[in-house]
């Protein structure tokens, strides 16, 4: 079975929420689904375009996590399109506000990052 980005996201969120002093959730910036017209309504002008898939708070630290399949992970850094550039812009803003921002393609990567987060002083 191929691991999709959605399955990777779900495993990361479940694992993070089992950790002490950690809260993680899915960030969805597609807009609101209109079932009658069968399309996404435009998002509010206050929505952060390119927002990361997962938002996490660990011991008061803001963390954004963009989840990519292994193939998309390579493209994100080597040949980004307009959407990836928006995501990179979002992550840059998070970092400039002293938050943490990562692109991952597995739960194992997040587990390794988590070990580093535990060492950070608040």
| Residue spans per domain, the chain | 5-119
Cβ neighbours around 107 below 10 Å, total = 20
Burial class from Cβ neighbours inside 10 Å (0-12, 13-18, 19+) for residue 24 reads buried
pLDDT digits (tens, 9 = 90+) for 12-24: 999 999 999 999 9
Q: Provide the whole-model pTM.
A: 0.84
Structural tokens at position 52:
């990361």
Task: Name the CATH topology of 5-119.
Answer: Trna Endonuclease; Chain: A, domain 1 (3.40.1350)
Extract the residue ranges of the chain whose pLDDT is less than 50: none
Reduced to 3 states (helix: H, G, I; strand: E, B; else coil), residue 85 is helix
Spatial distance between the Cα atoms of 26 and 67, rounded to a whole number of angstroms: 11
Spatial distance between the Cα atoms of 67 and 14, rounded to a whole number of angstroms: 14
């Amino acid at each position: 079975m191929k691991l999709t980005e959605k399955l990777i996201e779900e495993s990361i969120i479940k694992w993070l929420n089992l950790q002490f002093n950690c809260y993680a959730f899915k960030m969805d910036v597609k807009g609101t689904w209109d079932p009658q017209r069968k399309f996404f309504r435009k998002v509010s002008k206050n929505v952060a375009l390119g927002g990361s898939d997962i938002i996490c708070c660990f011991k008061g630290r803001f963390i954004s996590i963009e989840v990519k399949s292994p193939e998309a992970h390579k493209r994100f850094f080597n040949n980004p399109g307009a959407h990836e550039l928006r995501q990179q812009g979002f992550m840059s803003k998070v970092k400039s506000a002293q938050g943490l921002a990562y692109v991952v393609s597995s739960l194992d990567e997040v587990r390794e990052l988590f070990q580093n987060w535990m060492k950070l002083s608040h």
